């Protein structure tokens, strides 16, 4: 379509009019691109952890039923924007066509393999077929096409990683980059969900930034997750606790910190109802970073107010400057992370 369009994608919004693509209920997923858009032949969808968990639960763990739910979401909304969790994910594919007025931040050409670094919850997407759901790594092999707006960010896939590994790392690139910004030497850092994909990266960055005078506490709900954290060696203490039980979590953290609690708490879990555990495990004047897209920020704000806890709470913005480079290099510089991520996601 040789016509002008908004670089933020508002020209694709169908319902309601006047909003940006992410909060819109429905967007236009016609795959004939405007002159400032980029067309991608998509082969892999990396579904947001909160969304994937919800869809899997709704489908009772059946991959075929999960595929039907995903197809229905895209058919109704023009994008993979889970109506329950409000989250999406990201995609991997090959650049098929570039509009003549495309203004992307990174040099790219037709035929390049890229991963988008913007959410599927705002990306026009048309799925022809879901070939396979990978339950172990929250990915789906697809025959599909997608459109990227000029404001959208992406990364050309690195040659030293398999595509599925790179996609897994880039999917949570904001988490380690934000952790690197937040953590200071000597601090006590709690990572809730430290055995998961984003949690492992955050644990490494927290240990690196807190240094020998700091402490890193990893928390998981299952023995497998806790065993992984112990084996990786980034945690000074590992707690097995239910993140939806705030009193249990607070007591467990108090026990390993001599009652001082955490300076920084990073929430990486993929289930709802963990807001108050994060708040209560953090000392007054501390910081809680909610990377999880299952977070209710209303529950976090009103809950903290209700118990009189003075903490700074940060929304887990999936983007910060150079976050893709930081995340990829985090995996490269740690042999433990490299081996673990290759075993799980390559």
Reported pTM: 0.80
Q: How far apart are CA 220 and CA 241, in angstroms?
A: 6
Bridge partners for 46 per DSSP:
90, 139
Q: Collect all residues with Cβ–Cβ distance below 8 Å to 337 and sequence separation of at least 6.
A: 200, 201, 204, 232, 330, 331
Q: Would you tell me how many other CB atoms lie within 10 Å of the CB of residue 244?
A: 16
**pLDDT single digits (tens) 37-80:** 999 999 999 999 889 999 999 999 999 999 999 999 999 999 99
Burial status of residue 313 (CB atoms within 10 A of its CB: 0-12, 13-18, 19 or more):
buried
Give the mean pLDDT of the chain: 93
Burial status of residue 181 (CB atoms within 10 A of its CB: 0-12, 13-18, 19 or more):
middle
Q: How far apart are CA 106 and CA 154, in angstroms?
A: 8
**pLDDT single digits (tens) 214-223:** 999 999 999 9
Instruction: Look at residue 1 and tell me whether its pLDDT is greater than 50.
Output: no
Q: How far apart are CA 225 and CA 107, in angstroms?
A: 39
Q: What local confidence, expressed as pLDDT, does residue 44 receive?
A: 95
Q: What local confidence, expressed as pLDDT, does residue 303 receive?
A: 93
Domain span(s) for CATH 3.40.50.720 in the chain = 174-345
| Cis bond before residue 38 (omega within 30° of 0) | no
Q: Would you tell me how many other CB atoms lie within 10 Å of the CB of residue 327?
A: 25
Q: What local confidence, expressed as pLDDT, does residue 322 receive?
A: 81
**pLDDT single digits (tens) 290-344:** 998 788 989 999 999 999 999 999 988 777 788 888 899 999 999 999 999 999 8
Q: What is the mean pLDDT of residues 155-182?
A: 90
Could you give the maximum distance between any two Cα atoms of the chain, in Å? 65
Tokens describing residue 269: 């879990």
**pLDDT single digits (tens) 267-298:** 999 888 999 999 999 999 999 999 987 889 89
CATH architecture observed for domain 174-345: 3-Layer(aba) Sandwich (3.40)
Nearest to residue 170, comparing CAs of 42, 43, 47, 325? 325
* Residue 315 near residue 290, CB atoms below 8 Å: yes
């Amino acid at each position: 379509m040789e016509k002008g369009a908004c670089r933020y994608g508002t020209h694709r919004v169908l319902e309601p009019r006047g909003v940006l693509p992410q909060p819109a209920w429905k967007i236009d997923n016609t795959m004939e691109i405007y002159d400032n858009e980029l067309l991608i032949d998509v082969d892999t969808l990396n579904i947001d952890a909160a969304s994937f968990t919800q869809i899997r639960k709704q489908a009772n763990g059946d991959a075929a039923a999960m595929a039907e739910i995903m197809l229905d979401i895209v058919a109704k909304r023009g994008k993979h924007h889970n109506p329950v969790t409000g989250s999406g994910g990201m995609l991997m594919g090959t650049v098929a066509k570039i509009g003549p007025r495309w203004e992307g931040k990174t040099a790219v050409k037709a035929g390049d393999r890229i991963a988008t670094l913007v959410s599927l919850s705002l990306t026009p997407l048309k799925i022809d077929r879901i070939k396979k759901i990978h339950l172990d790594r929250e990915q789906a092999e697809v025959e599909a096409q997608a459109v990227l707006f000029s404001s959208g960010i992406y990364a050309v896939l690195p040659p030293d990683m398999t595509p599925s590994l790179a996609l897994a790392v880039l999917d949570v690139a904001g988490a380690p980059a934000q952790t690197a910004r937040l953590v200071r030497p000597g601090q006590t850092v709690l990572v809730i969900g430290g055995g998961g994909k984003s949690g492992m990266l955050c644990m490494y960055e927290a240990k690196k930034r807190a240094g020998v005078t700091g402490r890193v506490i990893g928390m998981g709900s299952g023995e497998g997750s806790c065993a992984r954290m112990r084996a990786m060696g980034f945690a000074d203490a590992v707690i097995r606790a239910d993140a939806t039980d705030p009193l249990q979590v607070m007591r467990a953290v108090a026990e390993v910190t001599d009652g001082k609690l955490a300076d920084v708490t990073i929430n990486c879990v993929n289930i709802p109802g963990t807001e108050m555990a994060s708040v209560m495990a953090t000392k007054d004047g501390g910081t809680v970073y909610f990377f999880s897209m299952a977070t209710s920020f209303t529950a976090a704000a009103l809950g903290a107010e209700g118990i009189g806890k003075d903490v700074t709470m940060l929304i887990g913005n999936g983007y910060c400057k150079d976050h893709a480079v930081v995340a990829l290099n985090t995996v490269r510089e740690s042999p433990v992370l490299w081996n673990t991520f290759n075993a799980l996601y390559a």
